[in-house]
Amino acid sequence: AMATAGPRSFSAAEVRARCAQGACLVSCRRRLYDLSGFVRLHPGGEQLLRRRAGTDVSAALDGPPHRHSENARRWLEQYYVGDIEPGDEQTTALGAWEGFAAQNPAAAAQLCAWHWDGLWVPQHYNPCLLPQDLVDWQKPLLWQVGYLGEKYDEWVHQPVDRPIRLFHSDFLEFLSKTAWYVVFLVWTPVVLYLSWVSYTSLAQGNTRLFSSFTTEYSIPVHKYYFPFIFLLGMVLWSLLEYLIHRFVFHMKPPASNYYLITLHFLLHGQHHKSPFDSSRLVFPPVPASLVIGFFYGVLRLLLPEVLGLSVFVGGLCGYVIYDMMHYYLHYGSPKKGTYLYGLKAYHVKHHFEHQKSGFGISTRFWDYPFRTLIPEETFKKED
The answer to whether the beta carbons of residues 9 and 84 sit under 8 Å apart is: yes
Which segments are annotated as binding site for Zn(2+)?
245, 250, 268, 271-272, 326, 330, 347, 350-351
CA–CA gap between residue 186 and residue 308 (Å, rounded): 21
Annotated binding site for heme: 42, 68
Q: For residue 373, what are the CA distances in angstroms to 224, 321, 354, 358?
A: 36, 22, 10, 5
DSSP sequence for 52-71: TTTSB-HHHHH-SS----HH
SS (H, E, C) 299-367: HHHHCCHHHHHHHHHHHHHHHHHHHHHHHHHHHCCCCCCCHHHHHHHHHHHHHHCCCCCCCCCCCCHHH
Give, in degrees to the nearest 5, the angle at Cα 299 between 294 and 302.
130
- SS3 helix, strand, coil % of the chain, rounded to 5? 55, 5, 40
Residues of each annotated binding site: 42, 68, 245, 250, 268, 271-272, 326, 330, 347, 350-351
User: What is Dmax (Cα atoms) for the chain?
Assistant: 91
